[in-house]
Chain A
Amino acid sequence: MNRQRWSCLLIAFTLFISFFLALSIGPVRISLFDMSATDKVILFNLRLPRILSAFFVGGGLALAGAIFQGLFRNPIADSYLLGVSSGASLGAAAAIVFRLASPLANFAAVSCFAFIGSLVALALVFYFGHHDGGFSIFRLLLSGLGVGLFLSSLVAIFMLMAGEELKALIFFFLGGFSSSSWDTTWVSLACIPLAVVAACYFAPELNVLLLGEETAESSGIRTGRIQLLYAILAALLTSISVSVAGLIGFIGLIVPHMIRLVFGADHRTLFPLTFFCGGIFLILCDTAARTVIAPAELPVGVVTSLLGVPIFLYLIRKESGDYNW
């Protein structure tokens, strides 16, 4: 318990430091104590929304990964498991190709269609995963796989039709925060905290559930509904993240494992810690991505694996964390 208390303090401290660091460094040098009007614009209209997006998207993806790994008791499950990302991609692609929301007018509108696309994908996954009035978690997994693959092939067809807008589409899929502004940030600001609170609130039930569905049922837990709730929460977290920042790999897979290795697999601590660490991690990666070769930027996905994998491998070797599901 002592270790946990220290860790919480450490995480709060790291969050503060990384936020401050991300705010103060960038391709343009700004002194936080002596700002011109231009500096203020850069700081409040460009860096601040970018850092907030990075934090919530990183946290959201990491938490979604943790949920899926717990739910499916599968270590290689990640946030894109249920085909949500394909749905988001399809939504964005359809919006661009059919000029529903032209990237010309408003990139935030494309994000909205990405979100709608991911909800449609989710509905399809749950429709096919539905059986005899209940949900089997493995049926859900398989239908997620199928729906995801099918939607991806539709995306490929749309990409062929996209013409000049093709490049805009490619950048959407590549992911990143280089064109973040307030109009895309507010989505993550408004929705992700709600999902995080809900995920943490039901964590004790999920813990019991992992002892086995029969044990859980006998403790009075409606297993099917808890599973459904978590699948929806994780998919929502992913779809919001994808619609804000495109596809950023790796975070949803590795961050939960890192936390599990260090702090154990109790979902009551795992979920909040994963959220905060995922957020901090993506803030730091994005800061590196936009400063290392400025004014050019590295794709943030490259940075996440480049920085994250060594830490992850070190932890596997070093920590003797309780590796139960």
Chain B
Amino acid sequence: MRTFLQLRDLIATQHNIRRLFALQAVVALSIAAPIALAGNRIIVDDLGFKIEVKDNVRRVVSLVPTNSEMVCLLDCKRLKGGTRYDQFPVEVKKRVQAKQIEIIGGGFDANLEKIVQLRPDLILTNGPTQQRFAVPLKNMGYSVVSLWPRDMDGLKRDFLLLGELLGQEKKAQSVIDDMQRRFSLIEAKVKNKPRKQVYLQMWTDPLITVGKSSFPDWLVAAAGGINVFGDLPFDSGQVGLESIIQRNPEVLIFLAAQEPFVKTLTKRPGWSSIRGVRESHVCFIDEPDIRRSIEFLDGLAKIQDCLFRDKRVNQLTPTETK
């Protein structure tokens, strides 16, 4: 009985806990208050959050290579922090080497201290995975905008938004116009051709492919194909060889890093019964070609070349390597 009385006492102290919470909140607020921004533009980001952003954004930190790329295309000088994977455009690489852009870590292990040290007016993250960084930064009063495009329309919207925030509307619009023009040309090529059934493999063991609403899924569709696993409700997911055989894709696309796997493809039991393998319609693409980047058109063109065998570039058929 004594134990339970003690337990009851423990419960009775709950209102003290509540008081402690309140005290803590006051402390946290008073620490955070000095850096709260006097923002004067309210935008809605790709996750639906209303974010207040300062009118004259001078210092941008990006937590994703594709975001760094967009900022750099508009005004590279304002990009003060990027990830260790930033490669495009070339100017980013140069500025990183010249220490004009600080590395804040990678997309999964961004360093909050480094970000804060750069005194950013604007922090750019991607979707849900980076919210664990975005939330504490927002709580400290920083403007954190999620750019997470799903397709070309999303990319356009994000790029124009960024142009607006950086005061580079005209530049953004001209890049978008150019992109639209090139995209129309690529699209026109396949307008009247029947769509190809495509399997795009992201990982070899286990077999992982892309699903509905992923960016590569959209790329395949835009190039004139249909992702045979377009019904997977995930961005990417594990599939069995059985279902690949059953869906019998006409074209198989692998990432360049999977070359050793593809070289032995015909020796692997089951694969030879797939139409694309039988007809040697197998291609490689590089990982950067399927990023959700504003410069996705080159990748798109490569996928289209692969689907309709316009060029033999990047094609390596299993029979040739035997």
Instruction: Give A residues with C-beta under 8 Å from B.
Output: 26-28, 37-38, 40-42, 44-47, 102-108, 160-168, 171, 178-183, 186, 189-191, 194, 198, 201-202, 222, 225-226, 228-229, 290, 294-297
> Bound state CA distance, A102 and B239, in angstroms?
27
CB of B233 within 8 A of CB of A226, answer no
**A182-B28, A229-B3 are contacts. A42–B132 as well, Cβ < 8 Å?**
no
**A182-B139, A295-B105 are contacts. A38–B111 as well, Cβ < 8 Å?**
no
CB of A164 within 8 A of CB of B129, answer yes
Task: Name A295's contact: one of B28, B32, B104, B128 (CB within 8 Å).
Answer: B104
CB of B135 within 8 A of CB of A107, answer yes
- Inside 8 A of A107's CB, which chain B residues have their CB? 131-132, 135-136
> Bound state CA distance, A77 and B204, in angstroms?
38
Q: Is B13 an interface residue (CB 8 A)?
A: yes
> Bound state CA distance, A103 and B128, in angstroms?
7
CB of B129 within 8 A of CB of A167, answer yes
Instruction: Give B residues with C-beta under 8 Å from A.
Output: 1-4, 6-7, 10, 13, 17, 20-21, 24-25, 27-28, 31-32, 34-35, 47, 49, 84, 103-106, 108-109, 111-114, 116-117, 119, 127-129, 131-133, 135-136, 139-140, 211, 233-235, 237-238
Can you spell out 14 A-B residue pairs with CB atoms less than 8 angstroms apart? A28-B114, A28-B116, A40-B34, A46-B113, A47-B113, A164-B235, A165-B129, A180-B136, A181-B136, A201-B6, A222-B2, A222-B3, A295-B111, A295-B114
Tell me the nearest residue of chain A to B235, going by C-beta: A164
Most buried by A among B2, B17, B20, B129: B129
- Inside 8 A of A106's CB, which chain B residues have their CB? 135
CB of A46 within 8 A of CB of B116, answer yes
Task: Name B127's contact: one of A164, A181, A183 (CB within 8 Å).
Answer: A164
CB distance from A6 to the nearest CB of B (A): 33
> Bound state CA distance, A82 and B170, in angstroms?
61
Interface residues of A: mostly helix, strand, loop or mixed?
Answer: helix
CB distance from A159 to the nearest CB of B (A): 11
> Bound state CA distance, A71 and B17, in angstroms?
28
> Bound state CA distance, A40 and B10, in angstroms?
36
- Inside 8 A of B24's CB, which chain A residues have their CB? 182, 186, 189-190
CB of B132 within 8 A of CB of A168, answer yes
CB of B3 within 8 A of CB of A41, answer no
- Inside 8 A of B35's CB, which chain A residues have their CB? 37, 41
- Inside 8 A of A47's CB, which chain B residues have their CB? 113
CB of A198 within 8 A of CB of B128, answer no
Q: Which 5 A-B pairs have the closest CB atoms?
A: A181-B136, A163-B234, A295-B111, A225-B3, A182-B28
CB distance from B110 to the nearest CB of A (A): 8
CB of A171 within 8 A of CB of B114, answer no
> Bound state CA distance, A215 and B177, in angstroms?
86
**A186-B24, A226-B3 are contacts. A296–B106 as well, Cβ < 8 Å?**
yes
> Bound state CA distance, A294 and B110, in angstroms?
10
CB distance from B150 to the nearest CB of A (A): 11
> Bound state CA distance, A192 and B187, in angstroms?
61
